[in-house]
Structure 1
Amino acid sequence: MSDWPHRVAVAGGTIEIVVGDITRLAVDAVVNAANRTLLGGGGVDGAIHRAAGPELLAECQTLGGCETGEAKITRGYRLPAAHVIHTVGPVWRGGGQDEAALLAACYGNALALADAHGLVRIAFPAISTGVYGFPAEEAAPIAIGTVLARLPDVSVEHVVFCCFSAGSAVLHRQALEALTR
């Protein structure tokens, strides 16, 4: 029997941790760990753009980019998700450049944008933990803590942390268990 998915009822809804491909999730919105141009890239960003099709790129070209920590929303096009919430995570520079606050802002602003659009189910990747180099063991508690703090105040009722690896999922589960004791 697999450890995934791992679901926990929390104040304001449910948090679920899965190992999988975020482009295959049928949720109201998937969150894209985008770069500042919003025009696609590697990792999750490239996968979302490829799966959504060229219409996503065309819409992103109209948005004028996005600053680190901020979020913007588009349609999901060919994705099972109705929307994509694009957020730009911080590049890790050792921890002294407000990286933790900027990462928390990514999760908080994505939830606020989902709330503004009345969305109920959203899925997050592990923002900034790939090529941006944010240590996953530090990022997971920030992600989980931010969502736990904001969930009771937004329309979102179900948050999926869609992890690329079992190792990332374990870090998210450990953070969730530690923060909900």
Structure 2
Amino acid sequence: MPSISPSITSAFFNSFSHRSLNPRFLIRYTSPESRIGTSVAFRTVVKRSLSFLQGSGAARALSNMSANGGDTEKSVAIFNLSPTSALKIQKGDITRWFIDGSSDAIVNPANERMLGGGGADGAIHRAAGPELRTACYDVPEVRPGVRCPTGEARITPGFKLPASHVIHTVGPVYDEDSNAAASLSNAYRNSLRVARESNIQYVAFPAISCGVYGYPFEEAASVGISTIRDHCNDINEVHFVLFSDDIYSVWVKKAEELLRN
């Protein structure tokens, strides 16, 4: 039987609640080469534990076990978007999120230069490593200093991130955009379009424009969730991985309103 190193054991317990696991399951998480297999195994356990929710239009998982990168003390809110697509909302660190490391992507709320910034943009660049900035430099400018105009999206590899790709999109500055709702909707819609074109099946969004860009939470949630509902075709799962309790609560409440059967 392979030994379990202290660093791997520590990382595992930081990511998932240990109270619902057994020692035999822990051994599945000991090899750093088996990240993808580990993810599939964990997702199988989650799906079985939530099987009673199948067929519900909008249901909240009451288990402590959340998706990768999530807050294990928060439940995951799960909603049906279509017969083949689901929306999952959780509180957590989007830089740690992944599903299978090959067909998954996190969305970076970038600026038009695409060279990093503050908030989630800076955190994603730091977690991905300097290779991400280099890849962004290689994205052609559409005009001086602009690689990704507001509302559009670009894709790069994820490099050191656990997710395989980063989809960069630029949301509107709320007080400066004459049609902020349209610009925000375009950011979500184009991110999903880029995901489909790149055969991405699992996409995780932050709350685009809800940081220094000043978009009111309830309005942003309404635009984001309704756009995803209308443009989720060919995407297996769309996730929101949100960094604060107040944003998480607003998103779940709005999803319950908009996605009620």
TM-score bracket for this pair, using the shorter chain length: over 0.9
Partner Cα distance (2:213, 2:151) in 1: 13
Is 1:75 the equivalent of 2:147? no
Counterpart in the other structure of 2:70: none
Partner Cα distance (2:179, 2:96) in 1: 32
Q: Is the strand fraction higher in 1 or 2?
A: 1
Amino acid at match of 1:15: L
SS in 2 for 1:45: helix
The match for 1:85 among 140, 162, 167 is 167
Is 1:42 the equivalent of 2:118? yes
State the 1:3 CA deviation.
Answer: 4.7
Q: How many residues align?
A: 178
- Give ranges in structure 2 of 5+ residues lacking alignment: 1-63, 65-72, 142-146
Query: How high is the TM-score relative to the length of structure 2?
Result: 0.66
Q: Which moved more, 1:72-81 or 1:6-15?
A: 6-15
Partner Cα distance (1:137, 1:68) in 2: 21
Counterpart in the other structure of 2:92: 20
Counterpart in the other structure of 2:213: 132
| Alignment RMSD | 1.3
The match for 1:159 among 238, 243, 247 is 238
Cα shift readout 1:58-116 (whole Å, capped 9, x = no counterpart): 0001112110000000000000010000000000117x711000000000000000001
SS in 2 for 1:86: strand
SS in 2 for 1:140: helix
Q: Which moved more, 1:46-55 or 1:57-66?
A: 57-66
Q: Kindly indicate whether the alpha-carbon contact (under 8 Å) linking 2:80 and 2:259 is maintained by their aligned counterparts in 1.
A: no
Counterpart in the other structure of 1:173: 252
Query: How high is the TM-score relative to the length of structure 1?
Result: 0.94
Is 1:29 the equivalent of 2:124? no
Amino acid at match of 1:5: V
SS in 1 for 2:231: helix
Counterpart in the other structure of 1:149: 230
SS in 2 for 1:18: strand
Map 1:53-132 → 2, pairs under 5 A: 53-63=129-139, 64=141, 65-93=147-175, 97-132=178-213
Q: Share of identical aligned residues, percent?
A: 46
Partner Cα distance (2:79, 2:216) in 1: 24
- Give ranges in structure 1 of 5+ residues lacking alignment: none
Partner Cα distance (1:128, 1:165) in 2: 14
Distance 1:48 1:82, change over 3 A: same
Counterpart in the other structure of 2:76: 5
SS in 2 for 1:123: strand
Cα shift readout 1:16-66 (whole Å, capped 9, x = no counterpart): 001010000014100000001000000000000000000000000111211
Cα shift readout 1:97-149 (whole Å, capped 9, x = no counterpart): 11000000000000000001111101000000000011111100100000001
State the 1:4 CA deviation.
Answer: 2.2
